[in-house]
Structure formats: C-alpha cells, structure tokens
Amino acid sequence: MESQRRSIGDDSCISPELDRLIRQRGRDLRLRKLDQQNAVKIVNHLIDSLLEFLKNNEDQPFFREVSVLTSGSYYEMVKINKPNEFDIMLKLKVPRLTFSELEEYRGLFYKIKLSKPTRTEIQHFLLEDFLTVSATKIKAEMHRLVRKFINNHFQGEGWVIRRNLVNSPAVTLEFKSKEKDDDVMSVDIVPTLEVLQGWPQAARAGPDIDRWLGKKCRRQLVSKAVYFVPKRPKGRNLKDDAKESWRISFSHIEKEMMQYHGNKKTCCEGHSNKCCRKLCLRLLKCLIEGLKQQYPKELEPLCSYHGKTAFFHVLSDRVQDSLWSPGQLSVSFMKLFGYFERCALNGSLPHFFVLEHNLFSPPAFPKRALAFLTTVLREQRELGLPLLKVPSPTSALVPDTNGVIPPINGTDSIVAFDRSFKHVYVCLLAVIVCIGIACVFKK
C-alpha cells in the first residue's frame, strides 16, 4: 500500500505521449471569445431584467433591495468547453444576524437568527420563535418570484425553470437557443444572507495560505463578510434545525484567490510571467466531468467543487510561481491529479476553509461511491488518462473494441456497430459493381 501511495502523482515517468495529450487537451478547453460574448449578453439581460422586476414588485417588498454577487467557474475564469453555466448570488438586505453551528455537520451548516425582533419585511420569513430565518420559506419565495418574472417578461423566449431540488440552494433557469437545439445554458440564482460580525469559530483561523499568498492577505480575507445560502445537508431523517439550515459560502473569497493566485503579486499580469495554475484546474474539471458522464449513478456525489478544493490545497503546498510555469504544465497537473487520487484513497478531502469538515465523508459522499472513484482514478492514471483524449470525428462509425471506458448505455455500441456494418456493406457493393463493369468491357 505504501509503494502504491508513493507511485501516485510521481511525475518522473510522464511519457512524451502523455505530455502531448495534457498540453493538447489544455489548448482545447479554452472558451471561444464569441461564445463568451453571446452568453454574457444573454445572461446580463436576464439578470438586469430580474433586478428591475424585483425592485418594482409590489407583492414581496423584502426582495426589492437585492444586490448581485457573481461567483462560480465562469467568473473565476476556469470554465471549460462552453460558457454554459453561470452562478448568480442575490444578496438580501437584512438586519443584524447571528449564527449558531449545527455541530454534527462540522462547521458547514448553521442556524441563522435575528439579533433582536423586528417588524421589517423579513418577519414574513421567520419561524415560530420570530427570530430564526427560515431557509425553506426564502427559497420557496425566490422560486415563486422568478417563475412569475419568467412568465410575465420572458415567456416564449427560451427560458424555462428547472424542477426545484430539495438539496440545492438555487433556482435554476435554462436557456435553449432557437438556432441550436443542443446548446443549453443554465443560470443558478441563489438567495444569500450576509453576516458582518466575523467568521464562525470553525473557520476563524482562515485558509492555510500564509506561505502561498501571505499572512497579510489571509488577515484581509478573514476580515471580509461571510455569506450563507439556503442549503440543507444531505441525508434522511433530518432534524428540524437541519431542514431549515443555511450553508456557509466562501465563493467570494475563492473568486478573489483565483484572481490573485500567484506567490508574487505580478503573476499572470503579462505574457512573460504567465502560469499554468488555472489550466491545471480546468484539466482536472475536464476529467471529473468525463467520469461523471461515464458513470452518472456510481459517481453522483462527485462534483467540480471536490476538484477545486484539492486544487487550493495543492496551491498552498506548491507555493512558488516557478513551479507553475507553462513549461511545467504536465508535471503540475500530475501533482494535482496525484493529490486528488490520494485524497480519494485515504477517504479524506478537508474543506479548504473549514478543515474539520471532510468532503469525502458520508452521507454526502457514501463509501461505495468513494471506493468506485478510487478505482476509476487509478485506472485513468495507469492507462494514460484516456478521458482527456479528444474524441475522433470518425469514432461514431467504427466501434472501438479496445476502448477503456464502456459506453454509457448498451445502445451506443449497437448504433456504432450498425453504422459500421452499413459502411462496410456499401463499400463491398461498390467493389462488386466495379468488377462487374470491368468484366463486361473485357468481353
């Protein structure tokens, strides 16, 4: 087992083929500027219209004074393939709040209460004690308002509301282009509470970035406000407090760390001091996305945030900018991949801001799913990361009998074989016709 652990992430045996694969895939993951411009134009129009609607709505004054916080991979500039997912946090204007940790969830989930009773509009979203802010009530009202907004202002323009998920804090909108039916863009709208009186005790020390970004930067980050979103823990038979709980969010801090990511403050300010940090994260996100597409049921708990958390841990360990130069892309990515695989093998991925919380622990990440993840990560490493390969345009015609990853369902291989058989049949028929014609002319 120890020798297996040592071999994970060993960059000394990166073959020229693997090096070329990593570099080529990295180039292919870049977003097209035209796609970005079109997507941002559509999303900005939606959000501006929503803010105007909320500002002028008469039936729910509490939502009139919201402000926008952008977060997520697109705004952190680590989105891959297409600009088709956007995260929008709507910060609600609230009186002074207090929070108390739900201890069984190790620093991630909290009960939010008013510091004192109030007669402001938030009173309609309190529980029976007239102090506790109800996550379910606020999320339900956000969903109702967004639905009313779409029906009144964007009916027939391609926007639809996805089904409300009990464990998601977001109201998710999907946009389908009339020109391209297969292009679907989603926008997550998340109501958010801001708490100004300091970070919870579980996160009070702040992220471990002293060697990477510096002690001064850590103090500045910890002095910022903290946000909470209406998300309950996973699991059955939740207690009443858990059903009304709020999850702490550090997305604004994560976005800032992504923006100022270098050990030296000049990193990526010019072409001469570029680094490959974000490209490494894009590659890991690509791998995670590929695994989830291949094994949607087995890896249902896996998400890009697991990869992002591993990425931050590696950045805080490999701090020097020289270790992340573009020429070190393959080595740096394999270091990141190796760390992620070790976390799966050991069953431990500490939350970057709340170290006591393990993102690989049940019930959020069941042991069976973790064992499966460990297996497929090992297979990917041993086989040269086949999921990073760009699919060949002809792969749909010729079945790959040596494929490493099985098709998502049985019909895929049947369709491919059927197409291949028809192709061969047409070729044979053409050859027979040509031979027949030649025989006729000979006579």
Which positions ≥6 away from 39 have C-beta within 8 Å? 83, 84, 86, 185
Q: What is the pLDDT of residue 438?
A: 59
Span between the terminal Cα atoms of the chain, in Å = 75
Q: Which residues of the chain have pLDDT under 70?
A: 1-12, 180-182, 391-443
- Cβ(186)–Cβ(82) below 8 Å: no
Q: What is the pLDDT of residue 176?
A: 86
Residue type, 375: T
Q: What is the pLDDT of residue 164?
A: 86
Neighbours of 11 (CB within 10 A): 14
pTM confidence score: 0.84
Q: What is the pLDDT of residue 429?
A: 63
Q: What is the pLDDT of residue 235?
A: 86
